[in-house]
Amino acid sequence: MKRTTALIPGSFDPVTLGHEDVIARAAQIFDRVYVTVFVNTEKHGGYFTPEERLEMVRAACRPYDNVSAELYGGLVADFMHEHGITTLVKGVRGVCDFDYESGLASIMRAFDPEFETVLLPARAQFAHISSTYARELIKYGRSLEAALSAPVAALAESFGRRRT
């Protein structure tokens, strides 16, 4: 059974196989899914530019007709209000992620009591994968297949070469 529209927010620096698994699962549950690259002013820059991250997210979303990729520089709650979204989807890799995301879910309900957060536990094969791990593989010229899909890895390598 599908439940209207959902948002998957993140910095996606870069979008990993774990993120892509959450996107695929959300695409099966919801009629429409926005995967949105949020520019986090708390983080200084990031490895990839917001536009590069958006391009990688678009590549990850391409297989799904009901998923679109966006870039946004404001609050998650503002994006949700602007798009009429009440459901937030987040992947969690373990108890630390669960605790952190549970706290954020409470904050989101403070913005709007209609906001609901759905937490999708990581599949075992993706539980160790993070954007930080992917960036380390890129930084040291290692194979990216363990962390990134082929289309995303090609873009990440291309963008990374521009920096050297």
Look up 93 and say whether it is catalytic. Answer: yes
Segment holding 99, helix H or strand E: helix 95-111
Look up 131 and say whether it is catalytic. Answer: yes
Burial of 58 (0-12, 13-18, 19+ CB in 10 A): buried
**Is 131 in contact with 12 (CB distance < 8 Å)?**
yes
**Catalytic site residue from 32, 131, 135, 149:** 131
Look up 102 and say whether it is catalytic. Answer: no
**Catalytic site residue from 25, 81, 83, 93:** 93
**Catalytic site residue from 19, 32, 58, 135:** 19
**Catalytic site residue from 43, 44, 161, 163:** 43
Look up 19 and say whether it is catalytic. Answer: yes
- Helices 150-163 and 50-61: crossing angle in degrees, nearest 10, is 160
| Pairwise CA distance, residues 110 & 27, whole Å | 27
Active-site annotation, residues: 19, 43, 93, 131
